[in-house]
């Protein structure tokens, strides 16, 4: 193993993402850095917060950051914040569904990005804390929450909850 930590403003790395522009790191307190010639270079201009939980590349190749102060998108080397409409700015994870829609998992539910404004996506979801979202091959969205796992059928409501009663080791 070789350690690549030179240049990181924080060695507590929450997420790595590799795309055609290189390797990126989301850190807890150091923002976003990119590995260039074996050294991490910070990319934090305009970033709302240096506490970055997750990085996502959307279907068009844009880089997004989920932070404790909302969601930011890297545009021409500068981060732009898109947090209008988010019920909670603490964003745990981001996800792109098969339609190209960006979804945010927050401590107050889930939201989807409608242009530049977030819309509530968790209507009917009993748990507020959403840790992550994924989509299965038929197009159902699954949410990992602090109250088990929930399933939303495409175009429908959150209808199915899986808990310890269904075999989960814990509902948290």
Residues 42 and 7: beta-carbon distance below 8 Å? yes
Tell me: the pLDDT tens digits for 28-41?
Answer: 999 999 999 989 99
Provide, rounded to the nearest whole percent, the portion of the chain with pLDDT above 90.
71
Q: Report the predicted TM-score, pTM, of the whole model to 2 decimal places.
A: 0.89
User: Residue 82 and residue 86: Cα distance in Å, rounded?
Assistant: 9
SS3 label, residue 115: coil
What number of other Cβ atoms are within 10 A of residue 57's Cβ? 18
CA-nearest of 141, 148, 145 to 163 is 148
Nearest residue to 132 (alpha-carbon basis) of 105, 108, 157, 150: 105
Confidence of residue 156 (pLDDT cuts 50, 70, 90): confident
Which band of pLDDT confidence, cut at 50, 70 and 90, is reported for residue 172? low
**DSSP 3-state of 152:** strand
Q: How far apart are CA 10 and CA 50, in angstroms?
A: 9
């Amino acid at each position: 193993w070789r350690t690549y930590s030179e240049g990181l403003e924080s060695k507590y790395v929450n997420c790595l993402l590799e795309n055609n522009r290189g390797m990126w790191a989301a850190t807890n307190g150091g923002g976003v850095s990119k590995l260039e010639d074996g050294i991490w270079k910070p990319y934090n201009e305009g970033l709302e917060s240096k506490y970055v939980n997750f990085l996502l590349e959307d279907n068009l190749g844009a880089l997004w950051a989920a932070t404790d102060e909302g969601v930011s998108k890297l545009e021409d080397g500068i981060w732009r914040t898109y947090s209008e409409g988010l019920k909670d700015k603490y964003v745990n994870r981001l996800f792109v569904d098969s339609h190209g829609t960006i979804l945010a998992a927050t401590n107050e539910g889930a939201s989807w990005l409608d242009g530049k404004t977030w819309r509530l996506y968790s209507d009917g979801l009993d748990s507020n804390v959403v840790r992550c979202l994924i989509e299965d091959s038929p197009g159902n969205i699954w949410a990992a929450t602090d109250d088990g796992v929930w399933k939303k059928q495409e175009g429908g409501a959150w209808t199915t909850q899986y808990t310890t009663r269904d075999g989960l080791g814990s509902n948290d």
